[in-house]
Amino acid sequence: MNGEVAIITENITKKFGEFTAVDKLNIKIPKGSIYGLLGPNGAGKSTAIRMFCGVLTPTEGKGEVFGLDVYKDAEKIKQNIGYMSQKFSLYEDLTVIENLNFYADIYSIPKKVKNERIEDIINMAGLNGREKNITKTLSGGWKQRLALGCCLMHKPRLLILDEPTAAVDPVSRRIFWQIIYKLAKQGITILVTTHYMDEAESCDEVAFIFGGKIIGKGNPKKIIEEKNAKNLEDVFIKYVEEQTGEKVQSSFDKIKFIQS
């Protein structure tokens, strides 16, 4: 459809039985950009991402990743993307180096460059000296940088990160995003979901998803202006209030037995 986009979809839809998790989603992610997917729990972010990765088959609609069809060319798409799922999913009983070797071999990285690449990843993730540690024993920040390293192994053109910073401390979060910026500078397209609005504000473009639908998208700064809000968090809350027709407030008043 377009040479300049990494992902483009047309009314892409995913149903689980009767339930529609992603409803006629239209999205266009330019190459080389950092694109943020925002929305409350259960909005359908992960489901949408899984369709782009070829993990789930869409129920309806069209979708292309680098001009490859999500129905027919799922296997080819997989060669071009690095995917970090929401749940940490490296082999916890393997050591750091065993996990890295595993991904290098699964992607058939040529033997000549394999060691060099693994070394680079270890340096990037700051895992020097921890190569022989069992992955389970690593702390959150390291685990997540190792996971990122594993999905960079085959030099993907598109990086899809599903809540990569959900379980890490602020320092690790900062380090992680510095890596993301560097990768973006090298021309890698990045699609990321997050619940942290400061992270979202540093995206080139964001899309808000609610109930499987996109309810607003664009450059974060512009959205804030348009919505006349203080920051993106305000925008997020305004969107949710518009959608549910209710003020976002705690229902604490309803728990009578604690107050009495």
Partner 1 sequence: MNMSLRRLMTIVKKEFIHIKRDKASLGMAIMMPIVFIMLFGYAVNTDVENIKIAVMDTDHTVQSRELVSKFKNSDYFCPDVYVKSTKELEKLIDNGDVKAGIIIPSGFSKKIKTGKNPQMQLIIDGTDPTIARTALQNGMMLTEMYSVKIQEKELIKKGLNNNKSKNIDVRTRVWYNPNLESTKFTIPGLIGLIMQNITVMLTAFSLVREKENGTLELLIVTPIKSAELILGKMIPYIFIGSIDFLIALFFGSYLFQVPIEGSLFLLIVLGFGFVICSLAIGMLISTIAQNQAQAMQMTIFFILPSVLLSGFIFPMEAMPKLIQSAGYFIPLTYFLKILRGIILKGIGLNYLWKEVIILFNFGMILLIFASIRFKKKLD
Ligand X SMILES: Nc1ncnc2c1ncn2[C@@H]1O[C@H](COP(=O)(O)OP(=O)(O)OP(=O)(O)O)[C@@H](O)[C@H]1O
Interface with ligand X, residue 59, by CB under 6 A? no
Provide the minimum distance between the beta carbon of 41 and ligand X in the complex, in angstroms, as a whole number. 4
- Residue 186 interacts, among partner 1, Mg ion, ligand X, none and using kind-specific CB cut-offs from 5 to 8 Å, with none
Q: Which C-beta is closer to Mg ion: that of 46 or that of 165?
A: 46
User: Does 181 interact with ligand X (rule: CB under 6 A)?
Assistant: no
Q: Is residue 44 a contact point for ligand X (CB under 6 A)? A: yes
- Tell me the two tokens of residue 234: 């305000």
**Closest CB 130 distance from partner 1, rounded Å:** 17
What whole-number distance in Å separates Cα of residue 224 and Cα of residue 205? 12
Residue selected from 9, 20, 46, 135 as contacting Mg ion according to rule CB under 5 A: 46
Stretch that binds Mg ion, among 39-47, 142-150, 236-244, 252-260 (CB under 5 A): 39-47
Angstrom distance (rounded) from CA 53 to CA 77: 7
Chain residues in the site for partner 1 (CB under 8 A): 16, 50, 53-57, 74-75, 78-79, 81, 83, 85, 87-94, 98, 102-103, 105-108, 134, 150-151
**240 forms bridges with which residues in the sheet?**
none
Beta bridge partners of 34: 190
Is residue 158 a contact partner of residue 189, using CB atoms and an 8 Å limit? yes
43 binds ligand X per the rule CB under 6 A: yes
For residue 128, what are the CA distances in angstroms to 120, 124, 146? 10, 9, 11
* Residue 75 CB contacts under 8 Å (≥ 6 apart), including other chains: 54
Closer residue to ligand X in complex, CB, 95/194: 194
Q: Give the shortest CB-193-to-Mg ion separation in angstroms.
A: 6
Contacted entry of ligand X, Mg ion, partner 1, none for residue 149, CB cut-off 5 to 8 Å set by kind = none
- Alpha carbon distance 212, 159 (integer Å): 22
Q: Do 173 and 145 form a contact (C-beta atoms < 8 A)?
A: no
For 232, other C-beta atoms within 10 Å of its C-beta total 24
Quick one: which of 2, 24, 103, 12 has its CA closest to 56?
Answer: 12
Give the range of 22-30, 86-94, 122-130, 143-151 binding Mg ion by CB under 5 A: 86-94
- 84 scored as a contact of ligand X (CB under 6 A): no
Chain residues that interact with ligand X, rule: CB under 6 A: 16, 19, 21, 39, 41-47, 86
